[in-house]
Amino acid sequence: MASYALFLLIFFSLNQGMYAQTISSPDKNLSLIFEVKNSGVPVYQLQYKGKPVIKSSKLGIEIKDQPSFMEGFEIDKSEQKTVDTSWEPIMGEQKSIRNNYTELLVELKQPQYNNRQLKIRFRLFNDGLGFRYEFPKQSNLNYFIIKEEHTEFQLAGNHKIFWIPGDYDTNEYAYTTSKIAEIPQLMEKATVFISAQHPIENLAIQTPSMMKTDDGLYINIHEAALINYPAMSLNVDAANFKMSSHLTPDAVGNKGYMQTDTQSPWRTIIVSDKATDVLASKLILNLNEPTVYKDVSWIKPMKYIGVWWEYFVAGKSTWAYGTETNVKLDQDFTKLTPNGKHGATNERVSAYIDFASKHGFDAVLVEGWNIGWEDWIGNWKENVFDFVTPYPDFDVKKLRDYAASKGVKLMMHHETSASATNYERRLDRAFQFMEDNNYNAVKTGYVGQIIPRGEHHDGQWMVNHYIHVADRAADYKIMVNSHEAVRPTGLHRTYPNWIAQESARGTEFEAMGGLAPEHTTILPFTRLMGGPMDFTPGIFQTDLTYYNTGGNQRVNTTLAKQLAYYVTMYSPLQMAADIPDNYNRFLDAFQFIKDVALDWDASYIQEAEPGDYITIARKAKGKSEWYVGGITDENSRTATIDFSYLPKGKKYIATIYADAKDASWNKNPQDYTIKKGIVTSKSKLNQFIAPGGGFAISIQEGNVSELKSLKKI
């Protein structure tokens, strides 16, 4: 009897810190199992409607010169709670966002290291899972260096996956669609040359990673609230369908420098059996903290044009003023030899201001206005720009006053040439210059190899830099649109003036080899999961041989698809990127760009399949206006459009901008039709989309005479 009691005591002692904990999502479709396995290793599993999403996968952090947070754990205690609240974004795809989840907080201890503590917090939403590591302040853990994070994602099969190569410095690759097992043989082809790239040596891909299982589950892996931590890529064990975290290193190979109390970003797994639910998910936003900004009245959506696209296609403009290729900021730039092609001149910018004013745009972006462009790229040069000194042919005060007289803002451009140290030293002076000259928004750029030399675009140092820029900009009431920055993770909730990012292969690549017609049917499932993208749509002159610059380049869309992007590619910052002369040739189609809203009360994801098609309808914030956009890949299709979101019993005028029957991305791309008709909440529309094409619809109230003159759709 005594021996039996001793056995029970030993059994209980061995297992009290190892029992499984289970929680379910509020709708009961998702279930999470957490347990501490043999040797004290934390593991988790995730299921959706009984199907395995993530099979048993290890959790842990390896740290340098100290025992790691990998094993030897017992569960000290755990807590569960349910949260169901809502909040209103300053700008967004919907007026109100529900934040509904079940939380499991597990407090772990390592007895062999004086009961050192680690917490893992899980939040299980109806649309997926978020979890993070938390490091409490404790006597035996104050400062530590992360060697690597070892979060595993053991997938349940050889899923279809949309991926780009793992890289510490660029996310501007084209997407490859394959099975997980095919990634090794496709990686070399996928890793095309990009300036300042640094591909990960082992087999790895970037997040957000979008997958589809053979039995119809959609799985998206990413992260949320990336602060004071390096970005996560995913190591790929293609044979076993397992992925694991791979953090971006710094100049000496370390991954992160931490001081308790602190935490990792959230690791996110969005799951549904409907692709439309993935696009509708607000899980990543919900895992970010609310803003602490007290005054947000100055943060507003912006629609803009700019001296930009002509640098890529027209062959007549350059960012640089002079012909010289070796310049210093303290020299006299009036003595340079003008190249005769400088784009940011008083005359040209004034013409853009006139066009913006005439057509109701908020701002004009001007790139190439400031000294330093003659040797800005490829030299790993630190003091490349000063951000306050204009070229001789750009009169800051004159253009500032002229823009103000026309009711238009000028949008600042701060290309840093990836010299973040130089930018930080000059940041306050640059922002004060903007404030003094009536600029309220800046486009930042980080083309090139990062300075501090050896750092990476996606490392901890640069992650903190981007946040510092956004936070400091808020002190001057400046909105930030960052290009070549780390991919977004929902931080536009915390820093709402960080209104958009590029951080993917955008429209500029249409002039550098082109984008596949499927590219923009993938981006909303990948890059845009983390936040708005400054994709710079609106290219009407898609055949670039029009400019007689040689070659046979083209933008691989129809004109109508360019209109659809203003709905399918969400951003509160939208550019009409083409040259004004091209809009003057197609003013009837240009009307949609002028009309379309930027901020929304509600969004309705009507159809979606990654890599194939997307149809989205949105209601303009505070207005009785709706806009619909639909796009397809290289295949033509018929979109099914439902209008049941319209108020019942009312009639509206729908203006439909669509591909003509003979249009396609490579033949007759500028052929489109425009027709008007009456729609109600009972209306249905089957809309043809050409190969590589799209459609856009504006829905507005009309007066009695207008309604009488139109037929029902």
Catalytic residues: 508
Question: Residue 665: which of 581, 571, 584, 562 has the closest Cα?
Answer: 562
266-272 vs 128-135, strand pairing mode: antiparallel
Both tokens assigned to 337: 């030899």
Tokens 């400031």 found at: 370
Both tokens assigned to 94: 């919907």
Question: Residue 529: which of 483, 495, 470, 570 has the closest Cα?
Answer: 570
* Residues 597-620 as b or e (16 or more Cβ within 10 Å = b): bbbbbebbbbbbbbbbbbbbbbbb
∠ Cα 401 406 411 (to 5°): 65
Tokens 């199992």 found at: 33
Question: Residue 124: which of 99, 154, 153 has the closest Cα?
Answer: 99
CA–CA separation, 496 and 21 (whole Å): 36
Question: Residue 257: which of 461, 119, 65 has the closest Cα?
Answer: 461
Region for residue 709 given its phi and psi (left: phi exceeds 0; alpha: psi -120 to 50; beta: otherwise): alpha
Cβ atoms 384, 338 nearer than 8 A: no
DSSP state of 27: T
Cβ atoms 679, 646 nearer than 8 A: yes
Exposed, middle or buried: residue 420 (CB in 10 Å: 0-12, 13-18, 19+)?
buried
Helix (H) or strand (E) holding 189: helix 183-190
Cβ atoms 553, 309 nearer than 8 A: no
CA–CA separation, 107 and 428 (whole Å): 43
Phi and psi angles of residue 668, each rounded to the nearest 5 degrees, phi first: 55, 45
Q: Which residues on adjacent β-strands are paired with residue 501?
A: 482, 533
Exposed, middle or buried: residue 217 (CB in 10 Å: 0-12, 13-18, 19+)?
buried
Both tokens assigned to 690: 């050409």
Estimate to the nearest angstrom the gap between the alpha carbon of 248 and the chain centroid.
18
Both tokens assigned to 469: 């820029």
Neighbours of 479 (CB within 10 A): 25
Question: Residue 393: which of 444, 322, 326 has the closest Cα?
Answer: 322
CA–CA separation, 17 and 38 (whole Å): 11
Estimate to the nearest angstrom the gap between the alpha carbon of 214 and the chain centroid.
27
Distances (CA, A) of 111 to 38, 71, 95, 108: 15, 11, 48, 10
- Helix spans in 328-370 (H): 346-359
Both tokens assigned to 35: 């347990």
Half-sphere exposure of 234 (CA within 13 A, CB side): 27
